[in-house]
Structure 1
Amino acid sequence: MSFWFDPWHDNGPLNRLFSNQEIYRSGIPRVASVADAFSSPLGWYVINIMANWWEPLPEFNQQADCFQWIRHPSGHFSTASAWELLRPKGNAVPWSSFVWNSSMPPRYQTHLWLITRNRLLTQVLLFSYARIPAALCPFCLCRPDSVDHLFFACQTSGNLASFWAAKFNIFWRNKPWRENLDWASKRFSDRSFYHSLARFGFGALCYIIWKERNNIIFRNQTLFLPAMKMHLQKAIKDKASTFKRVQDTPKNRRLQQSWDLSPSIFH
């Protein structure tokens, strides 16, 4: 460990605290290690100055030099512990456990977070920044494609949401996005097969709507609602296939038949 350039002392790297002239006067080479400096009789100049600092000098032994991450009890550095140290902390929002639930893949989680934080680059948002001349919904060409319109006030996205709800035997009445999210967060809150698949389906529903919207705008593709429903059904069937030994209950059987899931999930 470098005596001059590594942060072995609480005050930080010593080369920031001593001038080049003082470093030269100390007699401690720039390439010296901490052990070299404290074992050399030439180090008295710097060491005497450091001894008068408020922070006591660390104790030294014959063990090899090592770095220790003091911000975690284990002493080991990790990006997670560094992020916990640096990130701004606030109160948990009521929808966090739903959006960041492990039943959804990261792309669905991030997409739901962007929607909820109003960070999704809708045409309405871009129009407010004067980036585009118009902001009509590419599905209906009638209303601006705000978050509330896309999820799910538009007839097309609302039709897909009703399809999702009917398959889960849920009564669906569209409301503004935040109310829809609060409802889903409370409605699908446990770890059962039904709730896990419904959470995943909600994330897939929103992701498919956004992806199809982008295909129409940027690839000039034609809207085809049956294809969106097939895409949603395939995503949910693929997710269901990852479950094993699902409890064989009337509710789960209805769900299996509704989405045409493989009966093998019960074995």
Structure 2
Amino acid sequence: MYKLKGRRFWEVPCRGRMTWGWRKLLAIRSLIRPFLWSSIGNGAQTNIWSDMWCDHCPLSSFISPRRISNAGFHLQSTVAELVSHSGEWSWPIAWYDLFPVLIYIQVSMFNDRQDRLIWKDLDGNSRHFSSWEVWNNIRHRENLVPWVNMVWFKHYIPRHSFHMWLVIRNKLKTQDRLSVWEAGSATNLNLMCCPLCCYDRDSRNHLFFECSFALEVWNNIKAWTAMESVNGTWADIMSWMTQNSNMQMPENIISRLVLSAASYFVWQERNNRLFSKNQRTAMVIAREIIQTVRLRMLTFQFKWRPGLRRLLEKWQIPSGNMEIDPG
């Protein structure tokens, strides 16, 4: 565990000149501290008041520094120092009436090993310390959304899935959102129109895929997916995602890849037209979507199933990619 001048990072006061990294570490110590526990060995390295070494710790949460001092102890006392030669706790008898919880704290069984720090997860289980384990325990959690497997799945293209996540969360800087933020003058807002079809302001629902240009792209690519019956409205697309996001059939995986790529390249074309003079036709974009997905599929190895050979021939995927399940 990191130390600064002989002290653990949660014991270091936030004052004086300090590097940016240490300031950030100290800022989150209240989040990290409940997960860092001392595994008692000889008890000489664990602070009995501030460290986490039993289920009722830290003791400093209910025993004040004044009471600790009045009892003749000091704030740096270790677990070993508070155990008498007879193997009992040395705190005053009166404390058992003031703090009944002390009755349930068993005297530690010491050995010759030094105390060591361990990481305990949200369920109280000891875990191997890693950055992933830390993040998984301290991150803010929301309810699981039904479309999670539609965006994040084994074969996803990272930039496409990240963009798809923004689309679903409606976080893209579309013109309808800019108008809500009251960006610019009212005159400029009134002049806004979709850069793809030059009709109405663009929005999430308009761009995916109610816009006449985006709808043309969608109509050119949906025959390559299992979504031929899905029209270009965002509500129908979300409905399909909710019903099919957990399926691992090759057609379903391909559909997710195509949909994510379509949203990515339509948004890219929208920005190109808005900020430069570069323009491509809907057919060119559709071909780029299919080619991008095909290149991703070339890394797959499919488990054989009826109809798979026909699917691979449609996408011009070598038969050598068969036999292993892509899920």
Please give the residue correspondences for 1:123-134 in structure 2 after superposition, counting only pairs within 5 Å: 123-132=175-184, 133-134=188-189
Runs of 5+ in structure 1 lacking a partner?
none
1:167 Cα deviation from its structure 2 partner: 2.8
1:21 Cα deviation from its structure 2 partner: 4.0
Output the CA distance in 1 between the equivalents of 2:70 and 2:181. 60
- Please tell me whether the aligned partners of residues 65 and 75 of structure 2 are also in contact (alpha carbons under 8 angstroms): no
The answer to which of 124-133 and 15-24 deviates more is 15-24
Paired position in structure 1 for 2:156? 104
Output the CA distance in 2 between the equivalents of 1:120 and 1:79. 30
Could you list the per-position Cα deviations for residues 178-229 of structure 1 after superposition, in whole angstroms to 9, with x for gaps in the alignment?
Answer: 22221244467532222222221111111222233233334x1422134423
Output the CA distance in 2 between the equivalents of 1:59 and 1:212. 69
Paired position in structure 1 for 2:255? 198
Output the CA distance in 1 between the equivalents of 2:85 and 2:93. 11
Paired position in structure 2 for 1:258? 314
Paired position in structure 1 for 2:296? 239
Q: Would the alpha carbon gap of residues 221 and 9 (structure 1) be closer, same or farther in structure 2, given more than 3 Å must change?
A: farther
Alignment partner of 1:79 is 2:124: no
Paired position in structure 1 for 2:212? 155
- Please tell me whether the aligned partners of residues 176 and 201 of structure 2 are also in contact (alpha carbons under 8 angstroms): yes
Secondary structure class of the residue paired with 2:137: helix
After TM superposition, the score normalised by the length of structure 2 is 0.66
- Please tell me whether the aligned partners of residues 165 and 171 of structure 1 are also in contact (alpha carbons under 8 angstroms): yes
After TM superposition, the score normalised by the length of structure 1 is 0.78
Could you list the per-position Cα deviations for residues 127-183 of structure 1 after superposition, in whole angstroms to 9, with x for gaps in the alignment?
Answer: 111124434222122121111110001122112211211234753553431222212
Paired position in structure 2 for 1:59? 107
Paired position in structure 2 for 1:182? 239
The count of residues paired between Structure 1 and Structure 2 equals: 261
Alignment partner of 1:28 is 2:73: yes
Q: Would the alpha carbon gap of residues 69 and 211 (structure 1) be closer, same or farther in structure 2, given more than 3 Å must change?
A: same
CA RMSD across the alignment = 3.4
Paired position in structure 2 for 1:69? 120
- Please tell me whether the aligned partners of residues 72 and 81 of structure 1 are also in contact (alpha carbons under 8 angstroms): no
Matching residue's letter, 1:28: F
Query: Is the helix fraction higher in 1 or 2?
Result: 1
Query: Is the strand fraction higher in 1 or 2?
Result: 2
Q: Would the alpha carbon gap of residues 168 and 44 (structure 1) be closer, same or farther in structure 2, given more than 3 Å must change?
A: closer
Q: Would the alpha carbon gap of residues 223 and 255 (structure 1) be closer, same or farther in structure 2, given more than 3 Å must change?
A: farther
1:34 Cα deviation from its structure 2 partner: 1.5
Output the CA distance in 2 between the equivalents of 1:62 and 1:106. 51
1:4 Cα deviation from its structure 2 partner: 2.8
Matching residue's letter, 2:141: R
Identity %: 23
Q: Would the alpha carbon gap of residues 12 and 123 (structure 1) be closer, same or farther in structure 2, given more than 3 Å must change?
A: farther
Secondary structure class of the residue paired with 1:206: helix
